[in-house]
Amino acid sequence: MDLISCDGTVHEANFFAFIADGHNNMEQLPAVTKGCVDVASGTPEERAFQLYRCMFAQHKFEAKFTKRQEKIILTYFEACASDLGIKEYLKYKSSGMSGQQTVSDEDFLKLLNCVFHRVEFFDCDGKFSMDNFVEFITDGHNNLEQLPAVVKACVGALKGTPEEQSFQFYRCMFSQDQFKI
């Protein structure tokens, strides 16, 4: 079954059949697949990687922030963009909120670090606040037994500048599969 041809053409029907096999609740898969296909660009290899990354992210991170959490994050996100003079911050908005921001460019690092400080996940010395994070993230979520171990593992691996640590924590929380954000 060809999913992507040598020239980079994505065979949506084959891709859909491949992903859907053995899964339930796939009503949104055609739209998600089309959305991922539409944004994939570049060489055939780059398109394949982008499609994989997009589909993986869409499937794995189906849980959403609560409306309250989203409002808080977006308020700080916009305030931080303004304070930092980042005019093109909207390009980070949807990818950042869904855990799909995988490139750690300077503007996103600054934005993320600012937001994490404003929500008080990290203090000015770079110390992580488990209490503040747990209080924020548990709002509206169940199955939290794994959260402390996941957070501990993510925080234990942090190194580098405060901005780099914020990005590492962000990527770690969105890439683990024990607790869905």
| pLDDT 10s digits, 46-66 | 666 665 566 555 544 344 577
Please report which helix (H) or strand (E) contains residue 68, including its range.
helix 67-84
- 155 and 97 in a common domain: yes
Residue 181 lies in a domain: no
CA separation for the pair 128, 116 (Å, rounded): 10
- 77 and 45 in a common domain: no
Per-residue pLDDT reduced to its tens digit, 5-45: 666 565 666 655 655 544 444 455 555 556 666 666 666 66
Give me the pLDDT at residue 62, please: 41
- 83 and 49 in a common domain: no
CA separation for the pair 17, 135 (Å, rounded): 40
CA separation for the pair 92, 68 (Å, rounded): 20
Give me the pLDDT at residue 83, please: 95
Per-residue pLDDT reduced to its tens digit, 82-95: 999 998 888 887 77
- 94 and 40 in a common domain: no
Question: What pTM does this model have?
Answer: 0.60
Beta-ladder partners of 21: none
Amino acid at the residue 181? I
Per-residue pLDDT reduced to its tens digit, 114-169: 998 999 988 877 788 888 888 887 777 666 777 788 888 888 888 888 888 888 88
- 171 and 152 in a common domain: yes
169, 174, 180, 173: which is closest to 112 by C-alpha?
169
Amino acid at the residue 89? Y
Q: With the C-alpha atoms ordered 128, 130, 133, 135, is the resulting torsion angle positive or negative?
A: negative
Domain that holds residue 34: 12-58
Using an 8 Å Cβ cutoff, are 53 and 34 in contact? no
- Kindly calculate the radius of gyration of the chain based on its CA atoms and give it in whole angstroms: 18
- 153 and 78 in a common domain: yes
- 146 and 124 in a common domain: yes
Q: How confident is residue 81, by pLDDT bands cut at 50, 70 and 90?
A: very high
- 87 and 53 in a common domain: no
Residue with tokens 């998600």: 32
Give Cα 21 to chain centroid, integer Å: 25
CA separation for the pair 113, 153 (Å, rounded): 19
Q: Is 122 helix (H, G, I), strand (E, B) or coil?
A: strand
Q: How many domains does the chain have?
A: 2
- 137 and 99 in a common domain: yes
Residue 162 lies in a domain: yes
Amino acid at the residue 162? P
